[in-house]
Amino acid sequence: MLVMRIFKWWRWSAVLAVTAVGSVRAQDTVFTGTNKGADRVRIAAAGFHAEVGEAAPLKQTFDSVLESDLKNAGVFDVVAKSMQPQAEPAGPKQVDLAAWGGGATAAAYVAFGSFTAQGGKAAVNAYVFDTHNAQYPQVIGKQYTDVADDAAARMMAHRFADEIILRLGGGVAGIAETKIYYVHAGGGVKEIWAMDYDGANPHAVTRLGGIALSPRVSPDNSRVAFASLDKYGFQIKMYSLLLGRMVSFAPQAGTNIAPAWSPGGQLAWSSSKSGDPEIYVADASGNGAHRVTNYKGPDVSPSWNPKTGSQMAWISGRTGLPQMYTMDADGANVQRMTDGGYATSVSWSPNGQFLAFAWNRKYGPGAPGGQDIYVMDVASKKWIQLTNGLGQCDFPTWSPDGRHVAFAVGSGARGQVWTMLADGTGKHKLAGGDMPNWSFK
């Protein structure tokens, strides 16, 4: 039977080879199928080998960041430290694959390597080996060098984690190197701040000494648009991350809030220059502004479809309480998405399939429930609730891999930025802040 089947595929490959000859340089054939069992990938992260001295504290940072990145990724079953061998193999010769792949560890893959630091330079030799492939165990072999400090060790761990997620997680790039921009309130002012995706390294971006709201980072990570309150009222402002200073955005009449970038670099926002808040679209400098909504009642909080750039979701109060709508980027084809309640901010998922939004489903005095984060499938308008009982949740924002959603709990100086997997698991707090926005990459 087996022989026959092999023979069958042989014949098959022969046919393929004949048809492919000439047009192809080389190819391989893989034969596989479903019902072969697919679960989370079980991976073990060994402590990296380091000599005592300069490298020791940095190696601790590297190890813990790598482990937390793999745990946060949502696609791995990371072996607990207490269940894996204590060995810290420095290279391929020292690693005992049987020990990592068998027993209670039972990891399908093991990440290990060495961390050296000398004279202010750090170097990491990092490997991932397949424990069940004795002949060709190597999956990843990488070398990273940087200056020897804590931030650099953190960054190298992020880069290695992203490489592992790309190779073992089905080809979706990891998010360990991304940043989250948010509003930090304190001392009577609100400024735009940024932090790493895991909540580390929070730092100020703007120092305007006023009220800055709803930061949105551009698709190429070069600018941050936000709404700022000054003596002319609310205006859209632009901060260049490359130049480290404010750049111009044409001033508009009326109240201008809630900017949103299209994947092509256009900006949509809500402006009341006509007396009624409507959605406007302009280029990144505020030129060529034109109105895309035209209906009595407020239209705010636009969010582009990042996959196509040809659609927008936004919040409109045209029928009373604010509801979520979608339309084409030119304002045609308006569709109402929520059937009631009180919907606020909306964020379109990177693959264009889902909308994450904040919704108070039974709004009114004495109504049960509160404002929570929901995800809706755009095509079928079916939704799931992701948060419950955390408090007032608002401002969801998708990570660029579509596997995570960050959101704000509470508001003002007591607000907190939280993150979770897109199926609602793994919720944890990142930092104090409000109105998070996940960078594109």
Binding mask 224-263 for other proteins (x = CB under 8 A): ----------------------------------------
Closest approach, Cβ 401 to other proteins, in A, equals 7
> Segment near other proteins (CB under 8 A), from 52-60, 255-263, 274-282, 419-427?
419-427
Q: Smaller CB distance to other proteins: residue 290 or 382?
A: 382
Q: Smaller CB distance to other proteins: residue 106 or 123?
A: 106
Amino acid letter, 10: W
Say whether 58 sits in a helix, a strand or coil: helix
Q: Find the binder of other proteins among 46, 79, 236, 267 (CB under 8 A).
A: 79
Q: How far is CA 208 from CA 12, 186, 211, 254, 255, in A?
A: 68, 13, 8, 21, 19
Name the β-bridge partners of 49: 114
Q: Find the binder of other proteins among 160, 403, 407, 438 (CB under 8 A).
A: 403
Name the nearest CA neighbour of 358 among 349, 348, 346: 346
Say whether 216 sits in a helix, a strand or coil: strand
Closest approach, Cβ 16 to other proteins, in A, equals 6
In the region spanning residues 302 to 361, those forming contacts with other proteins, defined by CB under 8 A, are 351, 353-354
Q: Find the binder of other proteins among 56, 91, 98, 103 (CB under 8 A).
A: 103
In the region spanning residues 138 to 177, those forming contacts with other proteins, defined by CB under 8 A, are 139, 166-172
Contacts of 241 (CB under 8 A, 6+ apart): 205, 217, 221, 222, 223, 224
> Segment near other proteins (CB under 8 A), from 35-43, 49-57, 259-267, 286-294?
35-43
77 binds other proteins (CB under 8 A): yes
Name the nearest CA neighbour of 156 among 52, 41, 55, 51: 55
For residues 282 and 273, give the distance between their C-alpha atoms in angstroms, rounded to a whole number.
Answer: 14
Structure tokens at 197: 């995706």
Structure tokens at 141: 């072999």
> Segment near other proteins (CB under 8 A), from 213-221, 262-270, 318-326, 417-425?
417-425
Parallel, antiparallel, or unpaired for β 76-78 and 41-45?
parallel
75 binds other proteins (CB under 8 A): yes
Q: Please work out the total of residues on this chain that contact other proteins, with binding judged by CB under 8 A.
A: 73
